[in-house]
Amino acid sequence: MPLISRRPLLAGAASLGLLPRLARAQAGGARPSITVAVQKIANTDTLDPMREQSSNASERWMGLILENLILRNQQGHLERMPGLATAWKRRDERTVELTLREGVKLHNGDTLTAEDVAFSFGPERMFGPDLPADIRAVAHRYWPALDRVEIVDARTVRFVNKTPDLTMEGRIAAGGSQIVSRRAWLEAGSWQANSRLAVGTGPYRLVAFKPDQSLTLAAHDEYWGGRPPLAAIRILEIPETASRINGLLAGEYDFAADIPPDQIGQIEKNPRFEVQGGLVLNHRILAFDKHHPALADPRVRLAMAHAIDGQAIVDALWAGRSRVPPGLQWEFYGDMFVKDWTVPPYDPDRARALLKEAGYKGEPIAYRVRNEYYLAELATAQLITELWKQVGLNIAIEVKENWAQVLDKTNRGVRDWSNTPTFDDPVSSIVNQHGPHGAQQTNGEWTNEEMNRLSPELESSTDPARRKAIFARMLQICEREDPAYIVLHQNATFTAKRKDLPWRAPPSFFLDFSPRNWG
């Protein structure tokens, strides 16, 4: 029986609530099926990585369905490793050549070809005029100077850039560069039709997606990386932390993601369960709208940074399991890491002095948050607001239901956000989110002329010393001279699970249920 013909059966099983029963079949030697409770499945009600980009939502499952030519080692330190390509090499400063893995099967039964790879980076999927404007903007953000993907032969492709770029391998391994089936995409007929489809090469294939409710996956038994260890995965959106934990302890769920640190001890009192996880490559930040009248003076924004005690947040809300990082950077950057940089230190006297210099007279500033979209979000906002009030800032927390409300330009002041390096270079973070084509500038919140001049140079320079100097200057601009954001703390993620299930938490948000991470 062809694999594709099993979809109605599995979809029916999901709708009847039969997947938990499948888990009990493992006693007879069958593969188990699992149910996973998460806080949020997708922010945009789509499955397309060009729109659905959230680290703490879609990163949890995206790699189970769609894969890259170059993968990140989820069982190591996220270093690059062969994926749909077995090897890659630099031909010059603008060109990377990759050898495709032989015999890779897509979820629709086709064999992966160089045509699928080229299509995945072509006008129909990423850059074309018929695509929604935000999709084209994201494509240009991920690949600001991609010229073309050449098909050399059936198993060889070349990525050719318009300008030199030392980060091309990282971009190939990053989110947004996943490979899709050309035939399946064209058969669907449009981006909109494909937005809730995902025909890729991952260890599991899509069965059903119900926005704000559930995502159901089934084993892709022709997976190139080996037989998937699970027959099916049902991911449920359970926004309330208590409901995720209670459901896990009651046996409704096998895994529960997004566990607050203060709940770990209570869960592990039950010998059947454990909690895994730790720091991930993501920083919680606050983003400014410098066009707000009270925030136009950079001294007010810098004062807000000096008024925040990041270590108090780490100690009080993260039980010491997080940290205050050295600005918007990660040691993951290797030689590009700026070792002597810090966030503006907690200094309420300095904050008061800056507010006085700026002539701040208590004008109200809105602070927009989501209702626990981020772990401990409301508690963090309340703590920060109290710290701000202590130095004389007039802050009003506004809880919003969705990102459209958060980003509404009316009286926008400061908002919750996070930042992830999608690969091991600063362009993936500070330029991607705060550069001229980044989300903060395209949202109309902040801009800086020097930052916008430096961004393309950082992207195209091949001089390591010059690139590091540019990045150091960007940190100075964005965190001191003309603050675009405040870095609060490095993020951590914790997943509770049945202790008998042989799964290990990766150093990322990804819930890796591939054959590489089971057993």
pLDDT number for residue 109: 97
> The tokens 């996070």 sit on which residue?
418
286 & 423 share domain: yes
pLDDT number for residue 6: 26
Q: Is the dihedral of CA 184, 189, 190, 192 positive or negative?
A: negative
pLDDT number for residue 29: 62
Q: Could you give the number of structural domains in the chain?
A: 3
Q: What CATH code is carried by the domain that includes residue 294?
A: 3.10.105.10
pLDDT number for residue 55: 84
Is residue 474 assigned to a domain? yes
Is residue 496 assigned to a domain? no
If we measure between CA atoms, which residue out of 484, 491, 487 comes closest to residue 508?
Answer: 491
Give every residue of the chain whose pLDDT is below 70, as ranges.
1-29
209 & 345 share domain: no
Q: Give the structural domain span for 218.
A: 1-64+202-254+501-519
pLDDT number for residue 5: 27
Q: Is the dihedral of CA 21, 23, 28, 31 positive or negative?
A: positive
Alpha-carbon span 342 to 327, nearest angstrom: 6
> pLDDT tens-digit profile of 233-252?
999 999 999 999 999 999 99
Is residue 518 assigned to a domain? yes
487 & 517 share domain: no
pLDDT number for residue 371: 86
Residue 485: phi, psi to the nearest 5?
Answer: -160, 170
> pLDDT tens-digit profile of 463-499?
999 999 999 999 999 999 999 999 999 999 999 999 9
Alpha-carbon span 152 to 483, nearest angstrom: 46
Give the Cβ contact number of residue 395 at 10 Å.
18
pLDDT number for residue 354: 98
pLDDT number for residue 233: 98
303 & 393 share domain: yes
